[in-house]
Amino acid sequence: MVVIAIILALAVILVPAVAAYAGLEQKQFASDLATRYELLHDEAVLRNVTFRITYHLDEGYYDVEVGSPETLIFEDPDARAKYEDDQKDRLKMLTKEEAAAAVASDDDGFAKLQESYDTHVPLPSGTQFVGVYTPQYGKLVTPAGEGEDPAIVQSYIFPNGFSERAIVQIAKKSDPTDGYTVEVDPLAGVANVHPDVLSPDDLDADLPDPPELTQ
């Protein structure tokens, strides 16, 4: 009975401490991601390159990649969807061997960034991507369901000082409402960390209304 009492007492002390530590890891991850966006914004201008952050929502990590300064992105979700459908139709016309070779040789000009700091960044233990939004996708992309293709979202930072707007939600696996949101300002390249899991609609609601035009 004494041993059981000691175990219960330790559990009362340790469980909140572990939960608090997990929360600190999430906050640090969000802060580091925001800082990463701002550093890449400055480096893109200085080095005249385009950076891309590729989020692997199901696997729980992101990669930082570098590409041509002339990189273009899709204007809207319809253009991106049409491109992806065309690519799938093209692969259907090939044999399995030809399709595998085509996928393996498909190069969009981006490569892993070889820098002194980490460019392959996993989420902290017990943390998940709730969703990632950029205008190319037109909606918040969430992790894929069972049997579906893994969800991947790409976010771009350009050498002209423009960063594609991005909203990245991270939260505890045990509670998808308990976490943080990183929001990238497309014009200034500044990334803000919000201490809640906020949707694009939530963030847009905070924007001031446009001024009324008078004759």
Residue 49 has what pLDDT? Answer: 93
Comparing 106 with 18, the larger pLDDT belongs to 106
> Domain segments of the chain: what residues?
2-71+110-205
What does the pLDDT read at residue 18? 43
**Which pTM does this prediction carry?**
0.72
178-198 average pLDDT score: 94
| Residue, of 205 and 41, whose pLDDT is higher | 41
The mean-pLDDT minimum among 70-74, 115-119, 209-213 falls in 209-213
Q: 2-71+110-205 domain in CATH 3.30.70.100?
A: no
Percent of the chain topping pLDDT 70: 63
Q: What is the DSSP string of the chain?
A: -HHHHHHHHHHHHHHHHHHHHHHHHHHHHHHHHHHHHHHHHHHHHHHT-EEEEEEETTTTEEEEEEE-TT----SSHHHHHHHHHHHHHHHHTS-HHHHHHHHHH---S-EE---SS-SEEEPPTTEEEEEEE-TTTSS-B-PPPTTSPPPEEEEEE-TTS-B--EEEEEEETTEEEEEEEEEE-TTT--EEEESS---HHHHHHTSPPPPPP--
pLDDT at 166: 96
pLDDT at position 215 over 60: no
